[in-house]
Amino acid sequence: MFPPEPEKPWWYHLIWALPCMAATGMLGYWLKKPGTLEVEKVIKVPEIIYRTNTVRVAATTPPVRTGSQINGPQSTNNFIASRGIPVRTNRTAAAAIGLTSLNEANRNAPGFNIGSVDFIPRAPKTDFEIQVALDRAGYSPGSIDGYGGPQTQAALIAFQHNNGLKVTGIADTATKAKLRLEQTALVIRTITDSELTQISPLGKSWTEKSNQELLGFESVLEMLAEQHHCSPRYLMRINPTVVWSRVAEGTQVKVPNTTMPTPLGRAALIHIQLAQRLLDVYDADNKLVARFPCSIATKADKRPIGNLTITAVAEQADYTFNPANFPSSPEALAGSGKLTLPPGPNNPVGTTWLSLSKSGYGIHGTPDPEKIGRTTSLGCFRLSNWNAQRLAKMVQVGTPVRVDP
Q: What is the pLDDT of residues 330-342, one digit of tens each?
A: 888 787 788 899 9
Q: In this predicted model, which residue has the larger pLDDT, 128 or 111?
A: 128
- Residue 317 pLDDT level (bands cut at 50, 70, 90): confident
pLDDT one-digit tens code per residue, 157-200? 999 999 999 999 999 999 999 999 988 899 999 999 999 998 99
102-116, 216-230, 247-261, 323-337: range with lowest mean pLDDT: 102-116
Handedness of CA 97, 100, 102, 104 (dihedral sign): positive
- Residue 150 pLDDT level (bands cut at 50, 70, 90): very high
- Residue 90 pLDDT level (bands cut at 50, 70, 90): low
Contact 303, 296 (CB under 8 A): yes
Q: What CATH superfamily is the domain 269-316+351-404?
A: L,D-transpeptidase catalytic domain-like (2.40.440.10)
Q: Is-above-0.75 flag for pTM?
A: no
